[in-house]
Amino acid sequence: MIGPRRLAGLALLCAAALAGCETTGEGASLCLDAPPGIPLDPDGCPLYSDADAVPDYEDKCPGTAPGVPVDANGCPVDADADGVANLGDSCPDTPSGASVDARGCPLVGERIAIVTNLNFDFDRTKVRDDVKKRLSRVIRLLKEMPDIDVEIVGFTDDVGSKAYNLDLSLRRAESVRDYMVAQGIDRRRLSVAGRGMADALVSNSTPEGRAVNRRVEFVVR
């Protein structure tokens, strides 16, 4: 691979040759602007030991296998920053912050989506149009991770009895599951659970807070 510095050096040498100057011999360099003190190849150019277009002195991941896409630091590209390079990542769009296994997929118990504004009308289970828009992100994520199964967990606010809200939260989770199945997600990948008014994200003291707590979460199982 011929880098830009080497090309510049070759141009200078060719210009010197055309001018009648001697350009060959012991110690001749094809990269006259190579920084001092860096590893050089026999031509006096920065050394590229793993042929990834990043010279060794700038390469933070020396020894990268041939053909592996790398970033500006010479390291394998990891688009979702989960510690598993794209080339070996079975789940290349893992949500930020999720713990992953060796395949790059979220671990069991990880919440891959907490959509806090995934609201339902008060005392209703029907999936509203605005909810469908928010669910589209999760549906797309599941289609990109076909080996991941999730539990859809429903929650309510604190209006009503615990028993009633527990049943309501389960019915909401079932409605979300049914909608996602209709959008192409295999039903076998989706289980449901209801938690009622438990684990409120915010205070239920305001209408806005109660709307946030009427939600579903998606947990890897």
pLDDT in tens, 173-208: 999 999 999 999 999 999 999 999 999 999 999 999
Full-prediction pTM beyond 0.95? no
Domain segments of the chain as ranges: 111-220
What is the structure's pLDDT at 6?
A: 52
pLDDT in tens, 135-159: 998 999 999 899 899 999 999 999 9
Q: Which CATH number describes the domain made up of 111-220?
A: 3.30.1330.60
What is the structure's pLDDT at 19?
A: 43
Distance CA 132, CA 110 (A): 23
pLDDT average, residue stretch 65-75: 84
> Contacts from 172-177 at CB under 8 Å and sequence distance 24+?
172/120, 172/125, 172/214, 172/216, 173/216, 174/125, 175/125, 175/126, 175/127, 176/127, 176/131, 176/135, 176/152, 176/216, 177/152
Cβ 70 vs Cβ 50: under 8 Å: no
pLDDT in tens, 88-120: 888 888 888 889 999 898 999 999 987 666 666
What is the structure's pLDDT at 25?
A: 43
pLDDT in tens, 5-57: 555 454 544 444 444 444 444 556 788 888 888 888 888 888 888 878 888 88
Cβ 127 vs Cβ 182: under 8 Å: no
